[in-house]
Chains A and B, each alone.
Chain A
Amino acid sequence: EDKVVQSPLSLVVHEGDTVTLNCSYEVTNFRSLLWYKQEKKAPTFLFMLTSSGIEKKSGRLSSILDKKELFSILNITATQTGDSAIYLCAVPDLYNNNDMRFGAGTRLTVKP
């Protein structure tokens, strides 16, 4: 069965720290991996990764995919309290009409 596993499940840091969130996957016929940020309401899209080794970057956030080792990381540098959220990783299941398999999420808390 396809799986998406995120670690850690919870993380508490102080403003200015750098964090690395992990997502490993076991999915048949992999095509892409997506990262979302969820604050109080709906998840919002951050990155889509399809190619190994190519970093996607948006401000202080960056992400990279390793298709050989089947994982992705999401880095946040110089964290701010506004980065506090649940970060979700998801992989489309191509055998089920692109049903999105989500990890349990990492709850990040950034303290002032």
Chain B
Amino acid sequence: NAGVTQTPKFRVLKTGQSMTLLCAQDMNHEYMYWYRQDPGMGLRLIHYSVGEGTTAKGEVPDGYNVSRLKKQNFLLGLESAAPSQTSVYFCASRTVSYLDTQYFGPGTRLTVL
């Protein structure tokens, strides 16, 4: 099992450009999450999904969109990137049980100039 994978690992964008981050998991997990991590802020939830075809807003959703067309994939889109979106983005997945931990991907470092 590859676990949770993310592509790309690094990206530099100019203000106003768009991009999509891909998260894939091969553990048949129902729940998937996108977080951003900034210095001194911990992990903040952007959007999450509790199943194929469903998504919901997290703590900091503005400026991002997501889609979960297939159970194993969770896409995070930036339509018009801003410098404030410079961050490290982590995807995570888990089963439905509250007793289960989240499994994290390796992260994507995004810089918006």
Contact of B107 among A42, A45, A90 (CB under 8 A): A42
Interface size on A, residues (CB 8 A): 26
Complex Cα–Cα for A102 and B38 (A): 12
**Given the interface contacts A103-B42, A104-B42, does A42 sit within 8 Å of B98 by beta carbon?**
no
Contact of B40 among A9, A32, A34, A50 (CB under 8 A): A9
Interface size on B, residues (CB 8 A): 27
Contact of B98 among A41, A98, A105 (CB under 8 A): A98
Complex Cα–Cα for A94 and B56 (A): 14
Asked if A97 is at the interface (CB within 8 A of a chain B CB), the reply is: yes
> Could you tell me if A100 and B102 are in contact, using CB atoms closer than 8 angstroms?
yes
Q: Could you tell me which residues of chain A, from 48 to 82, have a CB within 8 Å of some CB in chain B?
A: 48, 50
Asked if B50 is at the interface (CB within 8 A of a chain A CB), the reply is: yes
9 A-B residue pairings within 8 Å (CB atoms): A6-B42, A31-B98, A32-B98, A42-B105, A42-B106, A43-B104, A45-B102, A45-B103, A100-B92
